[in-house]
Amino acid sequence: MTRGFGDGLSVAAPAKLNLYLHVTGKRSDGYHELDSLITFAAVHDSLFVTADEGFSVAVAGPFAAALKNATGENLIARAARLLAEAAGIQARASIRLYKRLPVAAGVGGGSSDAAAALRALAALWRLSPDKDELFALALRLGADVPVCLMGRTAFVGGIGERLAPGPDLSDVGLVLVNPGIPLSTAAVFGARDGPYSVPGRFEATPADTASLARLLAARRNDLEAPARALAPAIAAALDGLAAAAGCRLARMSGSGATCFGLFDNTATAARAARGLKSAWPDWWVEASTLINDVEALMPSPPA
């Protein structure tokens, strides 16, 4: 949800989760085609956007240093530039990002930040971009940015451009674990071998976490095996989550290394997270919940 504060706006950029991820083929341009069910967690980065004569992005928070050390153009700055160019205006804004989500972690932190920047800057600059044009900009920023811009649980196909509404998955407890090992998406795809998968979409709306887990157990993340080969700590994270009391399903998200466990409710997830934090004090362990609509998520202020 975009909220006003003073003369600016604040917006949440939640963690993205691939509940399953099937690699269905490879295009002639080298991009892989995917079929995935993507949803979002309540844990999120926060963007604070104000009008300014120039343009700047400042980063704070637990994972600020990791983002500053990352290579390549900052996706928030790139999103601002593309949106301003499309509107024929100068990119003028001051953006503060509070980075709670780990970097290069398979939870779409950068993609979610970019989508949040598009939403916030469109509001700040009083733009009303055509929906299709805005999604085209999002796809130029990255394969996960369109679904993050959509901001709702969705089945995603192609290279991220084909979106279809997914089932209602609210009120599912969640624990996320990242062992602190950044993984390159390109490296994980490069390490993948074997046949391609068929799509795994389903029409049912799960009645509860147990029924959701049963549906997902018949599917998988095709990038888990190559990611585990590159970062063996992923296996430990998955084993630890699966062994936690009340865990219905443990799986890796995206290209890793973040793993998640599904629980019947937030109380059970919180208990599991406390135990896992004790076991892995140097890892990122976060209890959360699934959300269906990013716009309903209130941005949290810096801790």
Contact 122, 93 (CB under 8 A): no
Task: Write down the catalytic residue from 45, 113, 144, 222.
Answer: 144
Place of tokens 């810096």: 302
Contacts of 292 (CB under 8 A, 6+ apart): 39, 40, 152, 153, 168, 169, 170
Task: Write down the catalytic residue from 16, 35, 45, 113.
Answer: 16
DSSP element (H, E) containing 173:
strand 173-178
DSSP element (H, E) containing 163:
strand 162-165
Residue 4 CA neighbour count, 13 Å, CB half = 4
Is the preceding peptide bond at 80 cis, omega within 30 degrees of 0?
A: no
Known active-site residue 99: no
Contact 14, 297 (CB under 8 A): yes
Contacts of 156 (CB under 8 A, 6+ apart): 34, 35, 36, 37, 38, 146, 147, 162, 163
Known active-site residue 130: no
Read off φ and ψ for residue 288, nearest 5 degrees: -155, -160
Active site residues: 16, 144
